[in-house]
Amino acid sequence: MMKKFFHVEDIGNLNKAIKDAKEVKANRYAYQNLGKNKTLLMIFFNNSLRTRLSTQKAAMNLGMNVIVLDVNAGAWKLETERGVIMDGDKSEHLLEAIPVMSCYCDIIAVRSFAGLENREFDYAETIVNQFVKYSGKPVVAMETATVHPLQAFADLITIEEHKQTARPKVVLTWAPHCRALPQAVPNSFAEWMNAADVDFVITHPEGYELDPRFVGEARVEYDQRKALEGADFVYAKNWSCPGVKNLSDYGRILSKDMSWTIDAEHMSWTNNGRFMHCLPVRRGLIVTDDVIEGERSLVIPEAANREISAQVVLKRVLEALK
Ligand code: CP
């Protein structure tokens, strides 16, 4: 009975989920009646291209009605913390807004990124957990402070579709960026790869250690070249300091080392590996033009599979509503 979707365990048996994804992809309009007269409310506290379009498309494939709310564009600005005197620019409190919004829908999907200022606040998932607690509706994560499961599920589907060996080597590599980015994508990617049948390696400069609950049993290799050797899939992503080794560094940029940018030489160390990234990506920092445009790049199939991962998840949530 799927009431929320944040972590890999929420989807149950992973092989069954991958099988369901194949079925959905083969016939994405087979369950048009399932979502009839059901409404998905998609709430965005942050920008989006893929998540917005793919999740809406998935809901429409299932016959659902969809309402999209951009909190920062047209809605009242929402206060998210209790105990504050609301004499600033925020006119409404989340604790009233959530039950009101839940009156108009059957499923709520939320995007709310990490603020990267207070690790405890972010890693407690303080904002989205209020939706879980006060909405009374199933809640689907469209990237929260610490996880992006719809992306990780789409990434896994993509790896399953393109793998040439039963147990491929998958490498998550940090790459440089000009802005401090959250850890949600690498956290979820690590969580889902640990649950999948792959040889999983994480590589990053010292100080970028991900939270142990996401690293799990993965091998961590600080030498990027060693990590990439023999890789079947290279998953590049930037993330800011997770504050695991030094809490005061949480959310900071510790390195802009351009030797970590994925270029043709990096890919030459792999087993003719496929390049992956969740997008949006900054060319020249994370990856070179030739690699992302090359025939070994999977960034577009990954994005296409976002519709499939969202549809499998929404289908299961709808089935649990009955
Ligand atoms: N990968 C991803 O979530 O893309 P958007 O931020 O555009 O939704």
Q: Whose CA is nearest to atom 6 of ligand 1?
A: 48
Q: Which residue has the tokens 């893929």?
A: 50
**CA-CA distance, 69 to 99, in Å (whole number)?**
15
Residue 49 marked ligand-binding: yes
Q: Which of 148, 140, 136 is nearest to 58 (CA)?
A: 140
**CA-CA distance, 142 to 140, in Å (whole number)?**
6
Q: Do both 81 and 12 map to the same domain?
A: yes
Q: Do both 94 and 189 map to the same domain?
A: no
Q: Do both 39 and 16 map to the same domain?
A: yes
pLDDT in tens, 129-168: 999 999 999 999 999 999 999 999 999 999 999 999 999 9
Q: Do both 22 and 135 map to the same domain?
A: yes
**CA-CA distance, 220 to 191, in Å (whole number)?**
14
Q: Do both 275 and 167 map to the same domain?
A: yes
- In the chain, the number of structural domains is 2
Q: For residue 80, is pLDDT > 90?
A: no
Q: Which of 51, 142, 144, 147 to mutate to test the pocket of ligand 1 (most atoms within 8 A of CB)?
A: 51
Q: For residue 99, is pLDDT > 90?
A: yes
Q: For residue 1, is pLDDT > 80?
A: no
Which ligand 1 atom sits closest to the C-alpha of 148?
3
Q: Do both 175 and 47 map to the same domain?
A: no
Q: Do both 108 and 61 map to the same domain?
A: yes
pLDDT in tens, 262-288: 999 999 999 999 999 999 999 999 999
Q: Whose CA is nearest to atom 4 of ligand 1?
A: 50
Q: Do both 78 and 182 map to the same domain?
A: no
Q: Please give the pLDDT value at position 5.
A: 98
CATH number at residue 112: 3.40.50.1370
How many C-alpha atoms does 71 have within 13 Å on its Cβ side?
Answer: 24
Domain range for 98 is 4-148+306-321
Q: Do both 101 and 12 map to the same domain?
A: yes
Q: What's the mean pLDDT when you consider all of the chain?
A: 97
**CA-CA distance, 106 to 314, in Å (whole number)?**
11
What spacing in Å lies between the alpha carbon of 73 and ligand 1's midpoint? 18
48 lines ligand 1 (CB under 6 A): yes
Q: Do both 157 and 291 map to the same domain?
A: yes
What spacing in Å lies between the alpha carbon of 202 and ligand 1's midpoint? 22
pLDDT in tens, 193-221: 999 999 999 999 999 999 999 999 999 99
- Number of helices and strands in the chain (H, E): 12, 12
Residue 48 marked ligand-binding: yes
Q: Do both 241 and 171 map to the same domain?
A: yes
Give the containing element (helix H, strand E) for 310: helix 299-321
Q: Which residues contact 277 (CB under 8 A, 6 or more apart)?
A: 235, 236, 237, 286, 287, 292, 299, 302
Q: Do both 19 and 86 map to the same domain?
A: yes
